[in-house]
């Protein structure tokens, strides 16, 4: 959200009258009983040269152009000024006469030129800045759709501008109401109103009220009995000493923060209260004050300083002003939400990436940072695959499965029969005996006899599938009622990387290989030639006899 139609300024209240209790305009002993200078005993932070006006000075009116100045984020309203009227001369102070009670001051000895400055300091309070009116207009501009539609609303209008992505604009009824929120999050009255409607703002030129109202909403209520907010004692950080209660905010300055907040949640529909049940937006203006030093400096020339003049002449005349006052800071904020699918996708992707980082970090520590264990974890995580080596291991495990089948079925020589249901049941009973329930021997078992029988049937059905199981076919009945050796071997090798059909195809001389396979295949499928012998040795003859 961006500010729109935001402006702030101050004006002198022509109808304002200096109240009788305006202590800063007192003179004589009445004044000195209320204010003291910032000295070593009554310091104002690091400042010790803020002089209280003379007892006979009273308050002074200054032109509207000097009463306030615009700053980067608001305005500065002067409440106290220390004017130094200076005249520069291109001659030594011994030869210079200062007029109007000025004090002579030699130019710094570090310079190459000789000169003298006549200075006269005059501290004073500005007449009744508390009654000066502070004005505020505001609004916002915000994008309300992923396509780029923009809304613009002003505090002094009952219309909302809807600007479409193609630049076409239309106005709809949507007045804005501005609530004034003071310290402690309480409603506050500003210029006689706690809520400003667009009609009031349009009629009066802006949300406005005397500076004293703004300071009161910010938490500075004065000392009571008609005392104004700027006559409060400065904070302990700004004043200390025997007369610290007489160091006032009027002399040290104060900061006034105005935060303008518009959120989509502040949107309400008020049928019966607004004409025609208009859609109304509430904007909150939150006001708070800080007792901190607030300064400004300026210079104005009576005679422009000239460096082209010779010796023993007047070079220039000017006024240097050190001001203290109220620094008004205006800020805006707000949140409007709309659905943006691309932003949602981006957020999801970023979340997935961020959530995966801890796992990646733990993996890096596991495989690189814990010594010998890392070597084992790395070997498990980064398994090397060599097809030729897989042939050796797979065939060895398949041979082991064949030997196990012979042992289970009781066929040490040639295999003639498959594994029956009873043989499978016997072997599985030995495997799951610790989990089988028996009232006397294993009352803590979880497998009932019926559940065990169902398990055996499922295993029998899964293994008695013939060669089709390697091709991914489905079957709903048993193949032949027993588990052949081939079926048993294929079941044992179901987790192998290289299966029987892969091995047989690799050694099939008649199989046609694709171009890419022929290009990248480096698998060794040919054994070195065997030495010729006259006949079989004894071991080969013995193997032939048993087989």
How many residues comprise the chain? Answer: 547
Distance, in Å, from the CA atom of 155 to the CA atom of 160, rounded to the nearest integer, reads: 10
Helix (H) or strand (E) holding 417: none
Residue 325: exposure state from Cβ atoms within 10 A (0-12, 13-18, ≥19): buried
pLDDT over 80 at 388, yes or no: no
Across the chain, mean pLDDT equals 84
What b/e string do you get for 392-431 counting C-beta neighbours within 10 Å, with b at 16 or more?
eebeeebeebbeebeeebeeeeeeeebbebebbbebbeee
Q: Which two tokens stand for residue 147?
A: 């396509």
Distance, in Å, from the CA atom of 101 to the CA atom of 32, rounded to the nearest integer, reads: 23
Helix (H) or strand (E) holding 48: none
pLDDT digits (tens, 9 = 90+) for 394-442: 888 889 988 999 998 888 888 888 899 999 899 999 999 889 888 888 8
Predicted structure pTM score: 0.63
pLDDT digits (tens, 9 = 90+) for 128-142: 898 899 999 999 898
pLDDT over 90 at 175, yes or no: no
Distance, in Å, from the CA atom of 125 to the CA atom of 54, rounded to the nearest integer, reads: 10
pLDDT digits (tens, 9 = 90+) for 1-49: 678 888 888 888 766 555 555 788 889 998 988 888 887 777 776 677 7
- Hey, is 455 helix, strand or coil? helix
pLDDT for residue 323: 94
pLDDT digits (tens, 9 = 90+) for 311-323: 889 999 999 999 9
pLDDT over 70 at 542, yes or no: no
Per-residue pLDDT, averaged over 193-197, amounts to: 94
pLDDT digits (tens, 9 = 90+) for 263-289: 765 554 443 333 344 567 789 999 999
pLDDT for residue 521: 76
Residue 133: exposure state from Cβ atoms within 10 A (0-12, 13-18, ≥19): buried
Domain range summary for the chain, segments of one domain joined by +: 2-335, 341-381, 387-546
Distance, in Å, from the CA atom of 243 to the CA atom of 227, rounded to the nearest integer, reads: 19
Look-up: residue for tokens 């009031």?
A: 200
Contact 102, 91 (CB under 8 A): no
Per-residue pLDDT, averaged over 81-107, amounts to: 92
Distance, in Å, from the CA atom of 404 to the CA atom of 489, rounded to the nearest integer, reads: 10
For residue 466, name the pLDDT band (cuts at 50, 70, 90): low
pLDDT digits (tens, 9 = 90+) for 212-234: 999 999 998 776 555 678 888 88
- Hey, is 127 helix, strand or coil? coil
pLDDT for residue 41: 75
For residue 536, name the pLDDT band (cuts at 50, 70, 90): low
CA dihedral 250, 255, 259, 260 (to 10 degrees): 50
Closest by CA to 199, choosing from 158, 159, 154, is 158
Distance, in Å, from the CA atom of 412 to the CA atom of 542, rounded to the nearest integer, reads: 15
Look-up: residue for tokens 């402690």?
A: 184
pLDDT digits (tens, 9 = 90+) for 2-15: 788 888 888 887 66
Distance, in Å, from the CA atom of 32 to the CA atom of 9, rounded to the nearest integer, reads: 33
pLDDT for residue 182: 93
pLDDT digits (tens, 9 = 90+) for 339-378: 888 889 999 999 988 888 888 888 889 888 898 888 888 8
CA-to-CA dists, residue 14 to 11, 64, 486, angstroms = 9, 12, 110
pLDDT over 80 at 144, yes or no: yes
Backbone φ and ψ for 459, nearest 5 degrees, come out as -65, -40
Helices marked H in 464-535: 485-492, 500-506, 515-520
Cβ contacts of 190-198, under 8 Å, gap ≥ 24: 190/214, 190/217, 190/287, 196/155, 198/154, 198/155, 198/156, 198/157, 198/158
Contact 524, 388 (CB under 8 A): yes
pLDDT over 50 at 530, yes or no: yes
Contact 257, 289 (CB under 8 A): yes
Distance, in Å, from the CA atom of 146 to the CA atom of 201, rounded to the nearest integer, reads: 33
146 or 15, higher pLDDT: 146
CA-to-CA dists, residue 406 to 167, 456, 465, 484, angstroms = 86, 20, 19, 11
């Amino acid at each position: 959200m961006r500010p729109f139609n935001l402006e702030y300024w101050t004006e002198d209240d022509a109808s304002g009258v200096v109240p009788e209790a305006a202590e800063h305009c007192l003179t004589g002993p009445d004044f000195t009983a209320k204010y003291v200078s910032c000295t070593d005993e009554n310091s104002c932070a690091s400042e010790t040269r803020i002089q209280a006006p003379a007892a006979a000075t009273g308050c002074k009116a200054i032109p509207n152009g000097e009463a306030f100045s615009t700053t980067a984020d608001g305005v500065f309203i002067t409440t106290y000024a220390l004017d130094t009227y200076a005249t520069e001369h291109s001659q030594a102070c011994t030869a210079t006469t200062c007029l109007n009670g000025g004090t002579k001051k030699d130019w710094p000895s570090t310079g190459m030129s000789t000169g003298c400055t006549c200075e006269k300091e005059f501290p004073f309070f500005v007449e009744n800045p508390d009654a000066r009116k502070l004005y505020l207009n505001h609004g916002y501009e915000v994008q309300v759709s992923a396509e780029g539609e923009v809304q613009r609303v002003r505090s002094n209008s009952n219309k909302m501008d809807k600007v479409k992505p193609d630049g076409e604009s239309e106005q709809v009824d949507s007045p804005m109401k501005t609530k004034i929120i003071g310290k402690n999050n309480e409603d506050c009255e500003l210029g006689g109103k706690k809520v400003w409607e667009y009609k009031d703002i349009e009629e009066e030129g802006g949300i406005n009220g005397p500076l004293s109202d703004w300071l009161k909403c910010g938490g500075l209520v004065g000392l009571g009995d008609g005392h104004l907010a700027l006559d409060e004692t400065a904070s302990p950080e700004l004043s200390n000493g025997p007369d610290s209660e007489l160091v006032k905010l009027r002399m040290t300055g104060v900061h006034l923060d105005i935060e303008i907040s518009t959120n989509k949640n502040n949107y309400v529909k008020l049928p019966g209260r607004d004409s025609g049940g208009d859609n109304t937006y509430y904007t909150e203006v939150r006001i708070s004050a800080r007792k901190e030093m607030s300064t400004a400096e300026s210079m104005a020339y009576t005679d422009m300083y000239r460096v082209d003049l010779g010796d023993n002449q007047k070079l220039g005349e000017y006024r240097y002003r050190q001001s203290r006052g109220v620094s008004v800071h205006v800020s805006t904020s707000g949140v409007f939400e709309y659905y943006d699918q691309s932003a949602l996708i981006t957020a999801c992707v970023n979340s997935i990436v961020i959530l995966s980082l801890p796992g990646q970090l733990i993996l890096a520590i596991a495989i690189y940072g814990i010594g010998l264990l890392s070597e084992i974890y790395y070997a498990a995580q980064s398994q090397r695959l060599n097809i030729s080596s897989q042939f050796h291991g797979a065939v060895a495990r398949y041979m082991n499965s064949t030997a196990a089948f012979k042992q289970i079925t009781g066929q040490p020589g040639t295999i003639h029969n498959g594994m029956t249901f009873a043989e499978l049941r016997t072997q599985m009973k030995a495997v799951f005996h610790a989990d089988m329930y028996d009232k006397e021997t294993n009352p803590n078992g979880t497998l009932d006899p019926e559940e065990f029988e169902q398990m055996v049937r499922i295993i029998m059905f899964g293994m008695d599938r013939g060669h089709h199981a390697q091709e991914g076919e489905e079957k709903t009945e048993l193949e032949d009622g027993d588990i052949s050796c081939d079926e048993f071997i294929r079941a044992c090798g179901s987790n192998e990387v290289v299966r029987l059909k892969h091995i047989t195809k690799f050694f099939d001389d008649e199989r046609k290989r694709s171009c890419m396979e022929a290009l990248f295949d480096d698998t060794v499928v040919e054994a070195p030639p065997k030495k010729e012998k006259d006949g079989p040795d004894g071991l080969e003859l013995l193997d032939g006899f048993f087989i």
